[in-house]
Amino acid sequence: MNAVTVITSGKGGAGKSTITAGLGAALAARGKRVLLIDCDAGLGCLDHMLGVSERRVFDIADVVAGTVEPDKAVYASSVSPNLFLLPAAGTEEDVVSPDIMRELVGVFSRFYDHVLIDSPAGIGQGFLSAVAPARRAMLIATPDPVCLRDTAQTRIRLQEAGVEQQRLVINRFSCFDFRAQGYYRDLDSVIDAAGVRLIAVVPNDPQLAAACANARLAPPDSPGTMALARLAARMEGNQVPLPPLEKF
Ligand SMILES: Nc1ncnc2c1ncn2[C@@H]1O[C@H](COP(=O)(O)OP(=O)(O)O)[C@@H](O)[C@H]1O
Ligand SMILES: [Mg+2]
C-alpha cells in the first residue's frame, strides 16, 4: 500500500481542508499522483477548493452504496495536474464505517502515490472512519492553548485507533502575533503542549486562503505555498530545515 495520511485536528477551523488541498498540490507538483478523500460528511469543501464542484455528480456515499464504480466518483482537479478528489457525502449521515474506509482506501491506494484523507473535526464516528486506513496522521493546530488542548486529546484518540506515526503541523503562524499573544515562550513549548513531534510550520497566508476560496493555486513564492512544499518534501523523506521563525 502507498502512503496513506490522515489530516486531522481536534478543533474545527484549524486549517485541515486548506492544508489537505495545498499539500496535495505540493505533492502533485513533485510529480506524484495524489488522491484526496474528503471525509467531512455534509460539510465537505474540497470539491470547491479543487475546482470540482460544478462537475461533481457522485461522491463517497455513492461508492459505498454500490451505485457507481469507485473510479467514477473520482474527479481530476482543475487546480493542478496529478491531483484527484473523491468528494464527501452530501449528507451528514455516517455511511462510511471504519471497515469500509479501509477496504476503499485499499482499492484506491494502488493507483496513487499518496492518499490524503481530510477528516472531520472532533473525535466521533466520522473521525474514526477517516483515520482507520491511515499509516500516519498530520495533526493541524493553531498555536493557541485552546486548540493545542484539543490536539493533545486527538493524539490519544489516534493512538487508540492505531495510528502510531503522528506529526504536528502548526498552522496560521505569525511571528508577530505569536510574540504579542505571549501564550508560549517558543516553538518547543507549543510542541510540548501538543505532545506531538513537529513536521511543519505553515504561516498565516491570505494568498493561500484566497487560492483555496477561488479554486486556484497560490503563487509559488507565497509563504504558505513554500511551507507546504517543504512539508511535502519532508513527507517524502527529505531533510528540510525549518526557516528561522522571524521569516514567518
Ligand atoms: N495558513 C493559513 N493562512 C491563512 N488562512 C488560513 C490558513 N489555513 C486556514 N486558513 C483559513 O482558516 C479557515 C478555516 O480553514 P479550513 O481549512 O476550512 O479549516 P478546517 O478544515 O480545519 O475546518 C478558512 O477561512 C481558511 O481560509
Ligand atoms: Mg474542513
Rounded-to-integer distance, Cα 47 and Cα 61, Å: 15
Question: Looking at the chain, which runs of residues are DSSP E strands?
Answer: 3-8, 34-38, 75-76, 83-86, 114-118, 136-141, 165-173, 197-203
- Tell how far the Cα of 6 is from the centroid of ligand 2, in angstroms: 12
- Tell how far the Cα of 12 is from the centroid of ligand 1, in angstroms: 9
Picking from 77, 74, 92, 198, the residue whose alpha carbon sits closest to that of residue 139 is 198
C-alpha cell at 129: 472512519
pLDDT in tens, 41-94: 888 899 999 999 999 999 999 999 999 999 999 999 999 999 999 999 988 877
Atom of ligand 1 nearest to the CA of 40: 21
The separation between CA 38 and the C-alpha centre of its own chain, rounded to angstroms, equals 9
pLDDT in tens, 142-177: 999 999 999 999 999 999 999 999 999 999 999 999
Atom of ligand 1 nearest to the CA of 11: 22
Helix, strand, coil percentages, rounded to 5, for the chain = 40, 20, 40
CA atoms within 13 A on the CB side of 6: 32
pTM: 0.97
Confidence at residue 43, expressed as pLDDT on a 0 to 100 scale: 87
Maximal C-alpha separation, the chain: 54
Asked if pLDDT for residue 227 goes beyond 50, the answer is yes
Asked if pLDDT for residue 140 goes beyond 50, the answer is yes
- Tell how far the Cα of 110 is from the centroid of ligand 1, in angstroms: 30
Confidence at residue 54, expressed as pLDDT on a 0 to 100 scale: 94
Q: What is the DSSP string of 119-171?
A: PPSSSSHHHHHHHTT-SEEEEEE-SSHHHHHHHHHHHHHHHHTT--EEEEEEE
**Could you list which residues have their CB under 5 Å from ion ligand 2?**
16-17
Q: In order of start, what are the domains of the chain with their CATH numbers?
A: 3-235 (3.40.50.300)
- Type and span of the H or E element at 244: none
pLDDT in tens, 171-223: 999 999 999 999 999 999 999 999 999 999 999 999 999 999 999 999 999 99
Confidence class for position 102, pLDDT limits 50, 70, 90: very high
Contact 224/22 with Cβ under 8 angstroms? yes
pLDDT in tens, 1-25: 469 999 999 989 999 999 999 999 9
Confidence at residue 247, expressed as pLDDT on a 0 to 100 scale: 83
C-alpha cell at 193: 503542549
C-alpha cell at 114: 499518496
CA angle 243, 245, 248 (to 5 degrees): 90
SS3 state of residue 38: strand
Confidence at residue 1, expressed as pLDDT on a 0 to 100 scale: 47
Atom of ligand 1 nearest to the CA of 213: 27
Rounded (10°) angle between helices 145-160 and 187-194: 40
Confidence at residue 245, expressed as pLDDT on a 0 to 100 scale: 85
